[in-house]
């Protein structure tokens, strides 16, 4: 570690102490601890949406850039399109959740569609966010290990301990505050990346050359769709939307997230592409992200870049720990009906969330010890989120057929499970649409049968 890296560590720790101390004062009230009092502004909300740029996205975007050059734009385009769609329809959920006092998307679904739909969607979020959280500890632990020389298992535990310390103190106030820190750290990473492009002379005209694998149009379209629904169906995106102050804030922050994500994601992809030009062949088990932090960046800046990425990964990890914990609590019977104005409910939610946070963290760190296939986990969770997209869209647009929505969600889950077992979680992109087709068919059958029954009742009444 050099002076740049040591200075970054000191500044980051002081920032986290400030987040914990100041956030503890703000989070004294239950509503602030749980959903930031539903008053997050444009800056905090935009930073919150950028929680999607975590270990999985850094790993995947840099690897796509390394493998396919400009092909990374397919996936980025899908993510941008997802934010644009939510800018127009996202306030439906924010308003409905505020009206009944639901703190989470699953809490809203529990109140409006019943336990069957909520438990299905909650299961998806737990699996998807659990996989993402495991990825954060894999990626962050590996990078911190390269900087400090410590065993990755020890560095993962260190990361988890730091995150738990400030989450217990400040709750969702801390989550949104570290999201702002992440935006700053990613800016530093991108500045270093741009400097690296200049120093090494990235040949942009070669990004579609033969040295990068040609991405088939069908795979590109699949990545586009996975990117769209990876945003629309993401629990952490809905968590920030519910905490937003108003419809205007929600729309502006969604558009801001789309623009920033396009810029940041493109530069991460270019960093992977630059690494391909510098290191044509990666060693066994070496990702493009790790290779970029050691080869694409000058030696004096390499530790600094690694630490900035670790900080961004931790800021994403705390969001996922929070959403997993509150999702579990949001499934409990009757909680949404108590309403936001019931301070006893908010205090009880605060107490139970503090119990869940360390449990979720310990489980995720343990899973990171067991599995090291971060790339496979990430692609599988995108397919899982897409599998329940028809049901999520039905909820967003207020389709009231509870049976059809529940059947659609569970059909997507079961289809994904069968596919995952068949391919041992390494699902090819060519099969990614099978679960969502099953989900859409069940939703269509349910809505059609409901319409037929309604028409029959109307005819008999006449």
**Angstrom distance (rounded) from CA 298 to CA 196:** 7
Q: Does the model's pTM come out above 0.85?
A: no
pLDDT of residue 413: 95
In this predicted model, what pLDDT tens digit does every residue of 348-393 receive, in sequence order?
778 888 899 999 999 999 988 887 677 777 888 899 999 999 999 9
| DSSP assignment of 81-147 | HHHHHHHHHTHHHHHHHHHHT-SSHHHHHHHHH-HHHHHHHHHHHHHHHHHHHHHHHHHHHHHHHHH
Percent of the chain clearing pLDDT 90 (strictly above): 32
In this predicted model, what pLDDT tens digit does every residue of 89-133 receive, in sequence order?
999 999 999 888 887 898 899 989 999 999 999 899 888 888 889
Residue 232, pLDDT > 90, answer yes
The rounded mean pLDDT for the chain is 84
At 449, phi and psi to the nearest 5? Answer: -65, -35
How long a stretch of residues is the chain?
462
Q: What is the average pLDDT across 304-311?
A: 81
In this predicted model, what pLDDT tens digit does every residue of 57-100 receive, in sequence order?
888 898 888 888 888 899 999 999 999 999 999 999 999 998 88
Residue 337, pLDDT > 70, answer no
**Angstrom distance (rounded) from CA 417 to CA 313:** 28
**Angstrom distance (rounded) from CA 276 to CA 288:** 8
Residue 341, pLDDT > 60, answer no
Q: Across-strand partners of 244?
A: 40
Q: Compute the Cα dihedral for 356, 362, 365, 366 and give only its sign.
A: negative
Domain architecture of the chain: domains with CATH: 3-374 (1.20.1730.10)
pLDDT of residue 340: 44
Q: pLDDT-based confidence at 256, cuts 50/70/90?
A: very high
In sequence order, which residues have a C-beta less than 8 Å from that of residue 174 and are 6 or more positions away? 19, 20, 23, 27, 166, 167, 318
∠ Cα 214 217 218 (to 5°): 120
pLDDT of residue 336: 41
What's the Rg (C-alpha) of the chain? 22
Q: pLDDT-based confidence at 277, cuts 50/70/90?
A: confident
pLDDT of residue 339: 44
Asked whether 313 and 58 are in contact (CB, 8 A), the reply is yes
Residue 292, pLDDT > 90, answer no
């Amino acid at each position: 570690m050099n002076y740049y890296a040591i200075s970054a560590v000191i500044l980051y720790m002081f920032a986290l102490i400030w987040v914990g101390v100041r956030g503890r004062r703000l989070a004294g009230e239950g509503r602030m601890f749980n959903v930031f009092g539903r008053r997050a502004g444009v800056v905090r909300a935009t930073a919150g949406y950028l929680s999607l740029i975590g270990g999985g996205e850094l790993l995947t975007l840099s690897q796509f850039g390394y493998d396919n050059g400009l092909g990374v734009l397919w996936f980025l385009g899908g993510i941008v399109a997802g934010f644009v769609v939510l800018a127009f329809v996202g306030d439906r959920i924010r308003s409905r959740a505020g009206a009944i006092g639901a703190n989470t998307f699953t809490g809203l679904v529990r109140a409006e569609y019943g336990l069957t739909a909520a438990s299905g969607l909650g299961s998806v979020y737990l699996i998807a966010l659990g996989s993402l959280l495991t990825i954060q500890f894999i990626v962050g632990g590996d990078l911190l290990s390269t900087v400090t020389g410590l065993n990755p298992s020890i560095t993962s535990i260190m990361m988890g301990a730091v995150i738990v310390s400030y989450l217990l103190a400040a709750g969702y106030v801390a989550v949104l505050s570290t999201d702002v820190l992440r935006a700053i750290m990613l800016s530093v990473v991108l500045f270093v990346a741009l400097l690296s492009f200049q120093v090494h002379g990235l040949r942009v005209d070669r990004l579609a050359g033969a040295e990068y694998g040609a991405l088939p149009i069908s795979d590109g379209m699949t990545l586009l769709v996975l990117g769209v629904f990876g945003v629309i169906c993401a629990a952490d995106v809905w968590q920030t939307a519910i905490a937003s102050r108003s419809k205007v804030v929600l729309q502006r922050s969604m558009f801001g997230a789309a623009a920033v994500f396009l810029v940041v994601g493109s530069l991460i992809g270019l960093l992977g592409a630059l690494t391909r030009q510098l290191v044509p062949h990666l060693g066994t088990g070496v990702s493009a992200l790790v290779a970029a932090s050691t080869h694409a960046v000058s030696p004096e800046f390499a530790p600094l870049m690694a630490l900035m990425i670790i900080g961004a990964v931790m800021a994403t990890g705390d969001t996922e720990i929070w959403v997993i914990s509150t999702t579990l609590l949001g499934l409990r019977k009757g909680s949404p009906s108590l309403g936001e104005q019931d301070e006893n409910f908010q205090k009880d939610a605060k107490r139970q969330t503090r119990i869940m946070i360390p449990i979720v963290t310990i489980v995720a760190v343990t899973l990171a010890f067991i599995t090291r296939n971060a790339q496979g986990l990430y692609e599988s969770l995108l397919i899982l989120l897409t599998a329940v997209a028809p049901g999520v869209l039905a909820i967003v647009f207020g389709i009231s057929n509870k049976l059809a929505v529940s059947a659609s969600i569970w059909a997507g889950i079961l289809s994904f499970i069968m596919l995952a077992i068949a391919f041992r979680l390494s699902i090819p992109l060519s099969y990614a649409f099978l679960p969502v087709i099953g989900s859409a068919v069940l939703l269509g059958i349910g809505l059609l049968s409901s319409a037929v029954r309604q028409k029959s009742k109307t005819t008999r009444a006449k």
